[in-house]
Chain A
Amino acid sequence: MPEFHPGHWVESAVKWIQGHASWLLDFFNSVLTGLYNAINHVLGGAEPLVMAAIFTVLALWLRGVLPAVFVFIGFALIDSFDLWTEAMETLSLVLAAAVITIVIAVPVGIWAARSKTVSAAVRPVLDVMQTMPAFVYLIPGVMFFSIGPTPGLLATIIFAMPPGVRMTELGIRQVDAELVEAAEAFGTPPNRTLLRVQLPLALPTIMAGINQVIMLALSMVVIAGMAGAGGLGEQVYSAVTQVQIGLGAESGIAVVILAMYLDRMTGALNERVSPLGRRAAAKAAALLSSSRLRFLHYKPGTAVAMCGVLVLALVAGGLNFVGTGANGKQEAQTNVGKGQQVSMGYIPWDEGIATTYLWKELLEQRGFKPKVNQLDPGPLFAGVAKGSVDFQTDTWLPTTHKPYWDKYKSQMEDLGGWYGPTSLELSVPSYVKGVHSLSDLKGKGGKFGHKIIGIEASAGEMRILKKQVLKDYGLKGEYKVVSSSTSSMLAELKRSIQKKKPVAVTLWSPHWAYNAYSLTKLKDPKGSFGKGEKIHTVAHKGFSKKNPIVASWLKNFHMSEKQLTSLENGIQQAGQGKEQDAVRAWLKKHKGMVDKLAPVPGGPQQKGKEAGKSVNMAYFPWDEAIATTYLWENILEDRGYKPRVKQLDPGPLYTSLAQGQTDFQTDGWLPTTHAQYWKRYKSKMRDVGTWYDQTSLELSTPKYMKGIDSMSDLKGKGAKFGHKITGIESSAGEMKILKKVLKKYGLDKEYKVVSSSTSSMLSEVDRSTRQHKPVLAVTWSPHWVYNKYPMKKIKDPKHAWGKGDGIHVTAKKDFAKDFPELNGWLKKFKLSEADLGSLETAIQNGGKGKEKESTRKWMNKHPGIVDQLAPVKK
């Protein structure tokens, strides 16, 4: 039979349409996508449980109490799978497709019922629509409309339409001819006959057709998901390609729940909508009204049900309006603590009070429940050691609090110094002329009434003052150090300043007094007061493990003298009992302090220059693609962008890159593996740069296969492996190279390459290694398979595999123009083999469905990675 390839014509037709009819395509695209978006906005915008309640009320209206209960349970279950958003997307898809289908199918069906010619003409068209594999529509669909709901909608509409048309036609034809005649005999015009007699009587059959339309639409969701329509279909598709059995099961169950809901509801709708249905229902109700379990069959009237729906819809809208919108998201994001209790203690030293209340406020804002206690130093340190106090912020080391530290250090951990250096000094008001250093005090005793106003006698500073400072500067006889208390000293200071009298006080830095008054610290050239100390935060041992986030905050905590003294001043001014208010006021004045001191993990850090922009990323399920895509998703979010991530197959992915629907992808293996895509689309794409260049392609085999170390060793050993090499997707470049490699080693006759998918190949490796059986797999490096299974690379002495590919970031054509900042980051993006390996392993270990979180955890272990990979220039 001579060859005949109409496929060429189809290709040409597709090309022509793309070229000349793009306005038409755009029109369809906007209609379809617009409808989908509108529906999704309504369904997905409301709180899940409120929406579930609306569905339940509808179920109550249509079917009664018991079904309504099951409906609520079903939808609550979907929410508990954390698949609510996806379920609503799928529902929107189904409804959008159903609406369009019905709008077209019913009139066509009516027309076919009236005209035998139309009926005959339409029938073969319907047959094609129903039997042509939907994938065939998807290819041009993606090419015409690119990734999104549209190709999926189109395929769904085409597949679901035939029953709509057929059942409508059938229903109308089946109406009793005598009734139509009667209508005619009484003078009814033909279209009124349709309206008054045929349609109402055909309605049950038409409703059955609509029910079928909806069910078929739902069955297409997975296919829609492959073309980027999102929803449960994409979940199932991802699950299948990434061998995530659990996720697949949950998504599948969600689809079933949706299907059963829609099926039962549309079936019951007949009862409410068509006159015949209402008659049947009334009859049935009459029969039941005598039964005992009447309440189980209770169905509210239409008006009541609609009121219920309206009320719930208002509630949903209101909730959105009030808080759970952007604000709510923010709150949810900053609720790091989630109610966890933290206990703090402080010595009533000003910086202790200040920082303790500061952290109390910060922790509260971050969702913790802090407890604050004032204690003396002894009990405070004991408490920290025991663990009844989690941490305290006012430990002066290495001098002042040394005894406590020495005593309890095995039960405490030092979270680092947040202020330093402190200093002890004597200070005088600045209006006192001629006194700038301790030496200046000599001979001026009279000015100051021969008094130095001191603090508590037990204070370390007092001892130093008496023992060292006075001696060093020869002030011993001239000045008497008056012990009092910190507060008395400060009171005296205030009084003197008010009277503009000279006074010398023992002070230290940091202290708010420097903020409140104009004072001069007396220099200490002889260093008698000793070196400054650092103020440390000290915590109970194990605190960082228990509370890593707070610990990291405390570790990074720093304050400048000005900041601290102004805080202390504020607290002082506010007065006793109003410390927290003072802290709040201070935080308000120092915008961004909260985020700086207690950054939400992964939350708003430094925003990139183009923060707010949406970025579309896509990946196919190769491990380094998954790893780097999620890495960049997290980074972009930190930098305030709005990244969107989609899983796609290589073909659609490169198509969408070429069309600009996807902005960039991180796993382009060039120049070999993805050569075909690059060749086809390179005029519409950009190569941003290589981030990894140590790839290799190889065959691998388990370590227990003795004597198989190089490709040459494979000759003659075909039988061991069943003459089979387990390959990956046939479209992968590596598979094409493999054919050449086998030829080069003379293995092409002895071994057959089986193409499947990456996940199947990995399953095969898993199975074989578990059973200690031989297997030859097509693999590449980097890949976690070498970590997880005892596999070894088979050497390639003839270099048949060629040089390894580099992994490139490839982007759409105008990427540099649209995202200059991001382009700069991606150009410089590099990951070492160790980092990539550890990231991939972290994702593996984190489990399916948790890639984003696992990546975030990895990032937390590599602090500064965000700044390293995505630096924001000031």
Chain B
Amino acid sequence: MSRLQAEHLYKVFGKRPKEAVRRLEAGADRDELRAEGTTAAVIDASFEVEEGQIFVVMGLSGSGKSTLLRMLNGLLEPTGGRVLFEDRDITALSGRELRRVRSQRISMVFQHFALFPHRSVLENAAYGLQVQGVPRAEGEKRAAEALEMTGLAGWENSWPDELSGGMQQRVGLARALATNAEVLLMDESFSALDPLIRRDMQDQLIALQRKLRKTIVFITHDLNEAMRLGDRIAVMRDGRIVQNGTAEEILVHPANDYVASFTQDVDRSRVLTAGAIADTGNGGIRMAKGGGRPTVSAGTPVAELFSPFSTGDGPIVVTDDSGAPLGVVDRERLLSALAEEPRIAGDDGPRPDSAEVSAGA
């Protein structure tokens, strides 16, 4: 069952927004509307988020991703379309009901942390509970637990201005977790952090997710981050979703040149898995069944295949979760998977000729 569902969401700013929606549905161009002073921020966005899934919305600035996110918890009212949360239409809720949903079911983590400077770390983390009306003692206990979960035990009585960026964001995360909301909306939450801290936070999120299984909608403009975190990724451009798929799908089968260019700089070795590049054709399976070769599971990132290939020589067998062989990966296959031109999986196409490259390539 899908937790969260967006159906044909539109968001238009400016004059006569409803009319603009109609025109867009009819096929009008966004720039046309721009000239008239109307901005179409989100155009016909539809997607589904499964329970326990991290759904990443990715795009450049101005692509409409933050706007889209805010329509999911009603901070912005959609001009067209609707949002279903557990099959209930959020967009039709009254103000009070919507606030209740926000305080109990959907939490949010912000790009610049949005911690209240006049409250301590503990009070910040307990904020959502305070809104819920939870009695103070209990609220503080739960907030303390959330802080511990995010690794900030012992910092309860500090003040936001005493914390580093990463720690502040952990408080923001703890605040969102403390309410036990099922859905977490994260608006470029790690974009303001430096690279190392960002990695830590991503790791932490993944670890938490394993434990908590929240439904997360994550906005980012960083592809690597998207690839790392996202179970599914939606790529947005100029207000529209241009592709919606797993990381590998996007990487290997980009829907258009835009997405392809987007994915150009991705570290493919961290995204592609052994299973994705294995030769699963008859030849491959025969070789796999032959035995006597090192094995890796299908989900292993390609990056981890380098070591075995540097020591051994022959192809590596790729198995599924139960250990049954799926196919093999040989050195050539590995290299071509990492090549800049994407190839469709399972394609036994001609090997590229060996070519000369300069050292700096």
Q: Which residues of A contact B (CB under 8 A)?
A: 176, 178-179, 181-189, 192, 197, 200-201, 274-276, 279
Contacts and interface: CB of A to CB of B under 8 A. Distances in A.
A370 B314 CA distance: 130
Contact of A276 (B99, B101, B102, B117): B117
B79 interface: no
Nearest to B129: A186
B108 A279 contact: no
A189 B99 CA distance: 7
Contacts of B100: 187
A274 B161 CA distance: 16
B110 A178 contact: yes
B118 interface: yes
B102 A185 contact: yes
A108 to B, nearest CB: 24
Interface string B78-114: 0000000000000000001001111110011011101
Given A187-B100, A187-B104, A188-B99, A181 B131 contact: no
Given A187-B99, A188-B131, A178 B118 contact: no
B117 A182 contact: no
B131 A279 contact: no
Contacts of B161: 279
A197 B115 CA distance: 11
Contacts of B110: 178, 181-182, 185
Nearest to B118: A275
Closest 7 CB pairs between A and B?
Answer: A187-B103, A275-B118, A187-B102, A182-B114, A185-B108, A187-B99, A186-B128
23 contacts: A178-B111, A178-B114, A181-B75, A181-B110, A182-B114, A184-B75, A185-B73, A185-B108, A186-B102, A186-B103, A186-B108, A186-B131, A187-B131, A188-B99, A188-B131, A189-B96, A197-B116, A200-B118, A275-B118, A275-B119, A279-B117, A279-B118, A279-B159
Listed residue (A181, A183, A187) with the most chain B CB atoms within 10 angstroms of its CB: A187
A417 to B, nearest CB: 87
B193 to A, nearest CB: 16
Contacts of B112: 178
Interface residues of B, number: 28
A227 B108 CA distance: 59
A185 B185 CA distance: 10
A284 to B, nearest CB: 13
A276 B175 CA distance: 21
A358 B118 CA distance: 76
A176 B111 CA distance: 13
Nearest to B119: A275
Contacts of B103: 186-188
Contacts of B107: 185-186
Interface of B: 73, 75, 96, 99-104, 107-108, 110-112, 114, 116-119, 127-128, 131-132, 159, 161, 175, 179, 185
A186 B143 CA distance: 14
A695 to B, nearest CB: 71
Contact of B117 (A181, A184, A185, A201): A201
Given A197-B116, A200-B118, A276-B118, A182 B108 contact: yes
Nearest to A277: B118
A192 B114 CA distance: 17
A183 B131 CA distance: 9
Contacts of A200: 118
Nearest to B127: A186
Given A187-B100, A279-B117, 16 more contacts: A182-B116, A184-B75, A185-B102, A185-B108, A185-B110, A186-B108, A186-B128, A186-B131, A186-B175, A187-B99, A187-B131, A188-B99, A188-B131, A275-B118, A275-B119, A279-B161
A188 B98 CA distance: 10
A82 to B, nearest CB: 46
Contacts of A186: 102-103, 107-108, 127-128, 131, 175, 179
A179 B127 CA distance: 12
Nearest to B128: A186
A185 B189 CA distance: 15
A188 B102 CA distance: 9
A274 B119 CA distance: 11
Nearest to A187: B103
A177 to B, nearest CB: 10
A276 B117 CA distance: 7
Contacts of A187: 99-104, 128, 131-132
A200 B116 CA distance: 10
A732 B117 CA distance: 64
